Structure 1
């Protein structure tokens, strides 16, 4: 990961176990531009890289804002940020990248679960400023755990439906989408069960759904077999055996490839495919993008054909 230093300008508790970090360029000046839906990679100690959505103001080039949910049962990234990162500390980030762009449409329906509200917050502020039609259906464990609830209500309380689980149960996706209309754009971010349910409901209705995952999509058991990767620029042929990833083999052979999450969720390693049929196992590419077969996430995906030609 190629990154740059930022300094923590401040940290604020915005909900139970959720801290917002303000990040400013360590050397002054401006940060790279971004649009709603973008995320950055953060090196959270000992080389752990995690992705966090930007939830500040895209017009403010002097700082980024991310909100981090502490997850004690996770792999340590969020705990490190909560316990070790304080005002004045430096941290390495990269990006921003956007695999979850906001599109214009007749109506936008936003569905958030827990910390999944972070990329949607900036989207909502954008569509509200544009005078577009929108609604938000936001679930969380309790009201105290739901970050930015009051900030969202201040945008337009009549369009914001706060649905804490201990009071309302699960989000009623059918009700949320009943008034969407066939031209609506639906945006969903949150736990995997919520995204999976939203995918099924939108597919049933023929609605266009945009999602972002920061954990791998659930899948059944997959059988790995050996295949060959050919590097288009050099003609080099590399065997990818069962139990090893394309990225592992590329890096071992000295091929330059950027990686971050190594779970197929961030899109950093996305690579063009010039030949062969990818076996997609990522959680980034849409069904249409996967069906096109012209790109692959080599950190997790494999090949249906004996050879895969990569534009490297």
Structure 2
């Protein structure tokens, strides 16, 4: 049995979060903090979710409105400028990142990928108003002297998930793909396409950025954070592939269950995942925060993708 307990096994305490994964504390009683990323560009976070806003000559562009602190976004902006919110960019359609859009008030121009609009129309959620400007490939949002370059690539996390790049500030936002200092959220951040997820991380590396906003965790990321996650993912893929090649189908199954293919493959897949977890634990359990929380999920997702994608 691996050192890290399997899914469903409750433990007294998870591994401590490494200091390198932590960000600045949220001021007492405030519920959020603001961090400057460059000229007129700021991140807002509750140290679990992240959004941005960009100040230009006559207004403000907000990027994402997580419902956990969306009510504070206007307050955060007011600490920097008295200008109104004129635009709202949706990184993608998921409610945990834009479900606070209606809390911003006013009638901002909402910009998103056409796939995001399609998914939101299906959801029919009044907390996530439909975009008013959509595109299918790339879009340059130029407001005054400020620019955000919006681009969609092959869908990994969700169709329409955007790369949001501020070239002047050398800051990149791409949500639910890279988790600086942390293990990815369960099953590659619930990616809809695991091979495309690998491509997305490589795409992040292709941008000329100094600061990275991933939509989650407590701090801004760096290029090194992206490199480290890519290294972990390469190790994960190699460990899962080796396990698939060496673990035998049908081994350790009760002979009375050999006529039950579901039971045979359940045992096989569990043993593949255990082998994968064992291979990765010595190197990574202290390097990535929450390694022990989601390493089983990642190994299950990786073996499945290698078998069927």
Higher relative contact order (CA 8 A, sep 6+): 2
Is the structural similarity TM-score above 0.5?
no
Q: Which has the higher strand share?
A: 1
TM-score by length of 2: 0.31
Q: Which has the higher helix share?
A: 2
TM-score by length of 1: 0.31
